[in-house]
Amino acid sequence: MKYALLIYANEKLQAEASEEERRRTYAEHDRFGRMLSDRNAAAGGAELALTTTATTVRKRDGEAVLTDGPFAETTEQLGGFYLVEAADLDEAIEFAKALPATNVEVRPVVAAPEG
Amino acid sequence: MRRLDLAEESLQDAFTAAVQRWPEDGPPRNPAGWLLTTARRRAVDRLRREASDLRRLPLLVTEEAVSDMDHVELDEGYAVPDERLRLVFTCCHPALSMESRVALTLRFVAGLTTPEIARLFLVAEPTTAARLTRAKKKIAAAGIPFRVPDADDLPDRLAGALAVIYLVFTEGYAATSGDRLLREELASEAIRLGRVLGELMPGEPEVTALLALMVLHHARRRARIDPAGRLVLLPDQDRDLWRWDEIGEGLALLELTARSQATSPYALQAAIAAEHAKARRASDTDWPAIADLYAQLERVTGSAVVRLNRAVAVAEAAGPRAGLALLGDLDEALPRHHLLPAARAELLRRLGRNGEAIVEYGRALALVGNDVERAFLLSRRAELERAGGTDE
């Protein structure tokens, strides 16, 4: 089964992290990525730029309205995601726990219809 | 009854029930009739339970995309114990909300029907049905596996399963709302679940400890409410109404956990219940021992509710002032718990500080959710008000 691991973190706090802490976090993500590959579980993913760089397109009454910023203002923001192949939810949760992240939402990916 | 073994078992059940009930209630006017009716009722119960046991596996299986189910082997057409154990852990999976876990466990492990579950929790039947449907959909869609957890995960997951069973029991032991303090059926179901888990995981100390705890508490059920439906506190309970046969079982179970040196919260709580159970009269209660057990429990759990109970025990062992001191800093931790002001009220009362006690009863009344406990608090306060309501 394919799952999305959605990483939420407080951007402001992350921005205050030192160079050393940033390096360490990236190293852990590298390690995580290699672990996924070893287990044939890697299915994609990306780090997202800060929500200050986001633009939201809302379609209302046939018009597209643009706003500066993310869809919803939240205390923790979506910072990145991984797509993983896991045998079941337990394995997906195991991956989520292994991530160097405080909050991870685990959501099944809807399987593409056959044919 | 077409099935001979079912008939035999049911008659045996009826005899067992007679042995348990008749000494207490006296023999019925028509013993043979009573036995036959009881046997028939038990047979119907068993058939229903078995049918629902056999039904529940397909009910989970027919949800889409539960690929693990394809590999499930059902020996000889009936569910082997391993099946039931997997079912327990699936129903109690931490990815499901507590409400869902309780409903699923009662439905598929205890074999209760949806209307029965709804009635026990004072919830409308469609609500329970919807909750069960959502939970089953979540199991299928999120890929919750039908599996006993790995050795690494087992301790946490077992703790989760026990928490579900304990929640069912405590809801039965002191219902948070409604007019019956004891919902005996819920408590009995929880004990039954505990026994099932005990059979599936023999010798597992945590399971034995929880079962001991529940059995010991439940043994006091007939003494907790007086004939007028009013709450009777532990020191005032008629211990002749305690089920001493069940206490015997509880103590024996506790013995088993002592051998494995379990100092888990359940084992400690069971030990406390055992101390009460060992006292043939309230005055025989070893309060210092209980206070010490609560101190251990508080260290292990850091729970404010445990501290509250400990304060009550300390008050018995060392006087109300000592007990009050322990209650001093709990307001932040327990802002909505009626038992905190209720305990303070009782201790202040013992110190003759009636004015303050009345205030605390008032605070407790503002928070209490159960009619039986409310009536009790009202009467305790009324006594003080009648006595003048001033401090001695």
CA gap A41, A93 in Å, rounded: 13
CATH code of residue A45: 3.30.70.1060
Domain closes at, from B33, B59, B85: B59
Residue A5 DSSP symbol: E
- Which residue on chain A is closest to B142 by alpha carbon? A108
Contact B144 A88 (CB under 8 A): yes
Domain count, chain A: 1
Contact A89 B68 (CB under 8 A): no
Q: Which residues of B touch A89 (CB under 8 A)?
A: 93, 95, 142-145
CA gap B261, B264 in Å, rounded: 9
Tokens read off for A28: 């852990």
Q: Could you report the per-residue pLDDT of B122-164, keeping only the tens digit for each?
A: 789 999 999 999 999 999 999 999 999 988 889 899 999 999 9
Q: At what angle do helices B184-200 and B81-91 cross, to 10 degrees?
A: 130
In a domain, A113, yes or no: no
- For residue A32, the model assigns a pLDDT of 97
* Cross-chain CB nearest to A108 (options B93, B143, B149): B143
Q: Which residues of B touch A88 (CB under 8 A)?
A: 68, 143-145, 147
- For residue A94, the model assigns a pLDDT of 95
Q: Could you report the per-residue pLDDT of B21-46, keeping only the tens digit for each?
A: 666 666 666 666 666 666 666 666 66
Mean pLDDT across B238-249: 94
Using a pLDDT cut of 90, give the percent of chain B over it: 47
Any chain A CB within 8 A of the CB of B156? no
Q: How far is B278 from chain A (nearest CA, A)?
A: 44
* Cross-chain CB nearest to A1 (options B95, B143, B149): B143
For residue B1, pLDDT over 50 is answered with: no
Contact A93 B142 (CB under 8 A): no
Q: Could you report the per-residue pLDDT of B207-230, keeping only the tens digit for each?
A: 999 999 999 999 998 888 888 877
Domain closes at, from B23, B42, B59: B59
pLDDT interval class at B318 (50, 70, 90)? very high
Query: What is this model's ipTM?
Result: 0.87
Q: How far is B145 from chain A (nearest CA, A)?
A: 6
Q: Could you report the per-residue pLDDT of B255-274, keeping only the tens digit for each?
A: 888 777 657 899 999 999 99
Domain closes at, from B278, B300, B331: B331
Q: Do B353 and B326 belong together in one domain?
A: no
Q: Which parts of chain A sit beneath pLDDT 70?
A: 115
Q: Which residues of A touch B143 (CB under 8 A)?
A: 1, 3, 86, 88-89, 92, 108
In a domain, B77, yes or no: no
DSSP helix/strand/coil, B94: coil
Q: Please report which helix (H) or strand (E) contains residue A105, including its range.
A: strand A103-108
- For residue B72, the model assigns a pLDDT of 38
Contact A89 B149 (CB under 8 A): no
DSSP helix/strand/coil, A43: strand
CA gap B181, B133 in Å, rounded: 30
Q: Which residues of A touch B153 (CB under 8 A)?
A: 90
DSSP string for B367-384: H--BHHHHHHHHHHHHHH
Own/partner pairs, B193-199, CB within 8 angstroms, 24+ separation: B193/B105, B193/B109, B193/B110, B193/B165, B193/B168, B194/B165, B194/B169, B196/B84, B196/B88, B196/B109, B196/B110, B197/B88, B197/B161, B197/B162, B197/B165, B199/B81
Q: Which residues of A touch B69 (CB under 8 A)?
A: none
Contact B144 A1 (CB under 8 A): no
Any chain A CB within 8 A of the CB of B387? no
For residue B232, pLDDT over 70 is answered with: yes
Q: Do B325 and B353 belong together in one domain?
A: no
In a domain, A114, yes or no: no
Domain count, chain B: 3
Q: Do B318 and B350 belong together in one domain?
A: no
Residue A6 domain boundaries: 2-108
In a domain, A93, yes or no: yes
In a domain, B222, yes or no: no
- For residue B71, the model assigns a pLDDT of 35
Residue B386 domain boundaries: 336-392
Contact B153 A90 (CB under 8 A): yes
Task: Say if residues B140 and B96 touch (Cβ distance below 8 Å).
Answer: no
- For residue B42, the model assigns a pLDDT of 66
Q: Which of B90, B137, B144 to mutate to test the interface with A (most CBs of A within 10 A)?
A: B144
Q: Please report which helix (H) or strand (E) contains residue A9, including its range.
A: strand A2-9
Q: Could you report the per-residue pLDDT of B319-370, keeping only the tens digit for each?
A: 999 999 999 888 888 888 899 999 999 999 999 999 999 999 999 999 988 8
Q: Which residues of B touch A92 (CB under 8 A)?
A: 143
Any chain A CB within 8 A of the CB of B148? no
- For residue A48, the model assigns a pLDDT of 95
Q: Which residues pair with A64 in a beta bridge?
A: A59
Higher-scoring residue by pLDDT: B74, A92: A92
In a domain, B349, yes or no: yes
Q: Read off the amino acid at residue B36.
A: L
Mean model confidence pLDDT for chain B? 81
